[in-house]
Amino acid sequence: MKNYSNMTEFAGDLGLSRSTVSYILNGKWRERNIKKETVERVLAYAEEVKFVPNIIGQAMKGKISTDVALLLPSSIYDHHKQAFFDFISLFDRKKYSYMIFPLKVGAENMEAVNQLITFKARNVLIFAGPAVAVLNQYRWWHKIMKGNPDIRWFFYDYRFEFGYNSASFPRNSGGAGFDRSKAIDMVLDYVAAAGYRKLLWRAFPLTPENRNRADMLQLEIVELPGYDSTLELSETGRRYGRFLSECGKPSERTAVFISDDIMTIGAVSYLLEHGFRVPEDYAFISWDGLSISRYFLKPVTTLVVPHAEMIQATAAFLAGEEQDRFINLKPAVRPGKTL
């Protein structure tokens, strides 16, 4: 099997120009109207001889650039997973070249930043919801963005509840997200308006403002115990269902908030399988807005994270359309049959 040191030699043996082979290997052959037969021949031969172009070398020589770089933390929430695939579809439709780089959580990410510079990323999307876990990380990214004015930066799922002054970010940055603390207030309001006075809570930490809101609504909050975070979410949910079943049927109308649709489905499933009624015995409200939660045998009442609007704002940013730089969106509760 022949070993190729460069693309020119590889293309020559195929009787093609280097640029034609480059367009094919970089997935841009449709834009150049290259025949499908030629594409299949090049890809088959590349697979046969295990030829991979030296992308890093090309980048270092300034011969490659990236339209969009996506920065992902090591683990993302279920509702972010769907957004990730929606972004891949968007990039494909717009014919953006893109790369994906891993982020460390709770640490400075100079390694990822250096890769962005090496691959000449024009736009960078940071999955801020799971990646920027504390306020200091926004301050760190502020410095990075200010020091790299040639790159356009966008916080996807910006954490407005941190109170960091988004207007202080440089002009080459933007973001879209919502205020989680205000979203929690929406959940409390919805539960109280439905006539419940007791809410079992397995979710994010409540702020003092959230607790004041619950007191004003005359809503008693009882925090549920934690479970092993290494378990699958559905199994964790079933453990909550078992815990509730062991508590017996409540004497008053009781609602349960679990901040994850899959865990909520697991808990509801367990209770239904063991003779409990939902929502008559225990009512549930969740957080995510996953599509699957619509089609469960008991469609889940859930707070829908506004991904559709956040993706729309991101697409406008990438296209250079005029809009507010930081867009604070409002989630919505989607009623189901669990509360």
Residue 339 within a domain: no
Same-domain pairing of 282 and 226: yes
Q: Is the pLDDT of residue 333 over 60?
A: yes
Please give the pLDDT value at position 161: 93
pLDDT tens-place string over residues 22-60: 888 776 777 778 888 898 888 888 878 877 665 545 544
3-state class (DSSP) for residue 115? helix
3-state class (DSSP) for residue 178? strand
Least confident of 153-167, 219-233, 261-275: 219-233
Residue 2 within a domain: no
Same-domain pairing of 212 and 298: yes
How sure is the predictor about 76, in pLDDT bands with cuts at 50, 70 and 90?
confident
Domain count, the chain: 3
Helix/strand/coil (H/E/C) assignment for every residue in 290-328: CHHHHCCCCCCCEEECCHHHHHHHHHHHHCCCCCCCEEE
* CA distance linking residue 121 with residue 336, whole number of Å: 42
157's enclosing H/E stretch is strand 152-159
Q: Count the Cβ atoms, other than its own, within 10 Å of residue 314.
A: 26
Burial status of residue 207 (CB atoms within 10 A of its CB: 0-12, 13-18, 19 or more)? middle
Q: Is the pLDDT of residue 327 over 60?
A: yes
Please give the pLDDT value at position 32: 79
Tokens of 63: 């011969």
Same-domain pairing of 157 and 215: no
Q: Is the pLDDT of residue 66 over 90?
A: no
Q: What is the DSSP letter of 251?
A: S
Residue 162 within a domain: yes
- Average pLDDT, integer, range 266-282: 96
Residue 286 within a domain: yes
Same-domain pairing of 228 and 268: yes
Q: Give the C-alpha distances (Å, rounded to integers) separating 280 from 246, 249, 254, 274.
A: 17, 10, 9, 14
Rg (CA), the chain: 25
Most confident by average pLDDT, 52-56, 102-106, 309-313: 309-313
Q: At 78, which CATH number?
A: 3.40.50.2300
How sure is the predictor about 112, in pLDDT bands with cuts at 50, 70 and 90?
confident
Least confident of 223-232, 272-281, 291-300: 223-232
pTM recorded for the entire structure = 0.78
How sure is the predictor about 136, in pLDDT bands with cuts at 50, 70 and 90?
confident
Asked if 233 and 260 count as a contact pair (C-beta separation under 8 A), the reply is yes
The residue among 57 and 166 whose pLDDT is bigger is 166
Please give the pLDDT value at position 145: 93
pLDDT tens-place string over residues 120-133: 899 999 998 888 87
> CB-based contacts of 219: which residues, under 8 Å, 6+ apart?
188, 191, 192, 196, 197, 198, 199
Q: Is the pLDDT of residue 256 over 90?
A: yes
> CB-based contacts of 222: which residues, under 8 Å, 6+ apart?
198, 199, 200, 201
Please give the pLDDT value at position 135: 83
Same-domain pairing of 136 and 190: no
Same-domain pairing of 152 and 111: yes
Q: Give the C-alpha distances (Å, rounded to integers) separating 150 from 59, 108, 133, 144, 147.
A: 16, 20, 26, 11, 9
Nearest by Cα to 43 from 67, 20, 64, 69: 20
Domain residue limits at 280: 181-304
pLDDT tens-place string over residues 183-226: 999 999 999 999 999 999 998 889 999 999 999 999 999 999 88
